[in-house]
C-alpha cells in the first residue's frame, strides 16, 4: 500500500542543517542553535513521512512494539552508553503496564511515539475505533510522562491515506513510516540485522526495529557503532523532521 508523502519544507531542512553540526554522536539540546519557536508549526505541515531531509548525515533509529520489561532496559543501557537518542513507538497497553520505562525513556532524551493500543490493522477500523486506539495510547503515555506524542506509527505500516489525513486533522499527528527495514522480526540473527542496518542507512533515514526481540537488542551495539563510524548523527523522529522536541501539551482532550 502507499501513503501520501509530503516534501519537506525549507524551514525544517534548515533546522536540520544546524542540528547536524552538533558533537557526535548525540544531539544535546544546547547543540541545536536554530530552535523553532513553535514545534507544532514544523510538524503541522507534515501528514505522513517515510524519512527525513537528505542533506545532512542525520538519521533516526526507531523501536516498535514495546516497552518490554527486560529488553527495553537493556536497549536503554546501550543507547545511554553511546549518548544516542532514539524513538520508541510504544503499544498503549504495554505503556500502561510499564510506565517507569517510559519515564526512563524521557529522562534519557528519547522520543515516545504512538503505535496504537492493541496493535490491530488500523485499515480495518472505522473512525471512532481508530481514534480510540490512538487516544487510549496517548493518554497512557501522557499519564506516565506528562507529554503527548506527536507522531504515529501504524502497526504493520498499514493506514489509508484518508485515515492519515483524518489523524493529522483531528489529532495533529504525523504518520511516521520508515525507509530502512532490517526485517529483524524474522530473527535472521544479530549479525545480519546489524549489517542490514549499517549498509542500508542514508542521510535522513528512519530505521525500523523492534525492542521486543532479544536478537535485535544484541544487534544494536554493532549497528549503532557502525552507523557512527559511517559518520551519522542520531536524532529522534521529531528532531529529524525539524522540531526541537516531541513534547506537546496542549491537546484539549488530554485530561490526565
Ligand atoms: Zn508493531
**What is the grid cell recorded at 130?**
481508530
CATH number, domain of 39, equals 3.20.20.370
Ligand 1 geometric centre to CA of 18 (Å): 32
Counting every residue written for the chain, the total comes to 256
CA-to-CA distance for 24 and 108, rounded, in angstroms?
17
Q: Is residue 5 part of a domain?
A: no
| Residue pair 114/151 in contact by the 8 Å Cβ criterion | yes
Ligand 1 geometric centre to CA of 119 (Å): 6
The 3-class SS string of 135-159 reads HHHHHHHHHHHCCCCCEECCHHHCC
User: Per-residue pLDDT tens for 110-162?
Assistant: 999 999 999 999 999 999 999 999 999 999 999 999 999 999 999 999 999 99
| Residue pair 137/92 in contact by the 8 Å Cβ criterion | yes
For 109-141, give one letter per residue: b (16+ CB within 10 A) or e: bbbbbbbbbebbebeeeeeeebbebbbbbbbbb
Number of domains in the chain: 1
CA-to-CA distance for 151 and 87, rounded, in angstroms?
10
User: Per-residue pLDDT tens for 172-227?
Assistant: 999 999 999 999 999 999 999 999 999 999 999 999 999 999 999 999 999 999 99
Ligand 1 geometric centre to CA of 120 (Å): 9
> What residue numbers bound the domain in which 215 lies?
10-240
Ligand 1 geometric centre to CA of 199 (Å): 23
Ligand 1 geometric centre to CA of 184 (Å): 12
β-sheet bridge partners, residue 176: 49
Q: Is residue 252 part of a domain?
A: no
Sign of CA dihedral 155, 79, 67, 235: negative
Q: Is residue 113 part of a domain?
A: yes
pLDDT at 94: 98
Question: Is it the case that residue 78 has pLDDT exceeding 70?
Answer: yes
Q: Is residue 255 part of a domain?
A: no
CA-to-CA distance for 55 and 117, rounded, in angstroms?
35
Q: Which of 147, 135, 203, 160 is nearest to 47 (CA)?
A: 160
Q: Is residue 115 part of a domain?
A: yes
Q: Is residue 202 part of a domain?
A: yes
Ligand 1 ion: nearby residues, β-carbon < 5 Å:
64-65, 155
Ligand 1 geometric centre to CA of 31 (Å): 32
Ligand 1 geometric centre to CA of 87 (Å): 13
- Average pLDDT of the chain is 84
Q: Is residue 85 part of a domain?
A: yes
Ligand 1 geometric centre to CA of 46 (Å): 22
Ligand 1 geometric centre to CA of 250 (Å): 27
When pLDDT is cut at 50, 70 and 90, the band that residue 7 belongs to is very low
Global pTM?
0.83
Q: Is residue 250 part of a domain?
A: no
Segment holding 17, helix H or strand E = helix 10-19
Question: Catalytic residue positions?
Answer: 64, 210
Amino acid at each position: 500500500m502507499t501513503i501520501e508523502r509530503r516534501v519537506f519544507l525549507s524551514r525544517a531542512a534548515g533546522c536540520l542543517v544546524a542540528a547536524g553540526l552538533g558533537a557526535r554522536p548525540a544531539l544535546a539540546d544546547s547543540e541545536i542553535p536554530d530552535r523553532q519557536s513553535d514545534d507544532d508549526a514544523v510538524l503541522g505541515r507534515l501528514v505522513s513521512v517515510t524519512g527525513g531531509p537528505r542533506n545532512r548525515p542525520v538519521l533516526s533509529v526507531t523501536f516498535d512494539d514495546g516497552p518490554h520489561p527486560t529488553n527495553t532496559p537493556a536497549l536503554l543501557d546501550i543507547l545511554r552508553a553511546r549518548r544516542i537518542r532514539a524513538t520508541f513507538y510504544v503499544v498503549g497497553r504495554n505503556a500502561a503496564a510499564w510506565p517507569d520505562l517510559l519515564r526512563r525513556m524521557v529522562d534519557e532524551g528519547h522520543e515516545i511515539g504512538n503505535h496504537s493500543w492493541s496493535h490491530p490493522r488500523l485499515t480495518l477500523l472505522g473512525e471512532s475505533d481508530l481514534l480510540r486506539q490512538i487516544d487510549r495510547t496517548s493518554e497512557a503515555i501522557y499519564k506516565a510522562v506528562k507529554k503527548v506524542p506527536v507522531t504515529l506509527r501504524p502497526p504493520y505500516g498499514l493506514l489509508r491515506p484518508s485515515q492519515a489525513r483524518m489523524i493529522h486533522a483531528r489529532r495533529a499527528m504525523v504518520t511516521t513510516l520508515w525507509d530502512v527495514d532490517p526485517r529483524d522480526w524474522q530473527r535472521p540473527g544479530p549479525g545480519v540485522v546489524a549489517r542490514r542496518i549499517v549498509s542500508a542507512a542514508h542521510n535522513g533515514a528512519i530505521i525500523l526495529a523492534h525492542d521486543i526481540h532479544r536478537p535485535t537488542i544484541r544487534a544494536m551495539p554493532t549497528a549503532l557503532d557502525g552507523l557512527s563510524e559511517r559518520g551519522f548523527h542520531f536524532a529522534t523522529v521529531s528532531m529529524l523532521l525539524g522540531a526541537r522536541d516531541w513534547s506537546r501539551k496542549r491537546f484539549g482532550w488530554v485530561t490526565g
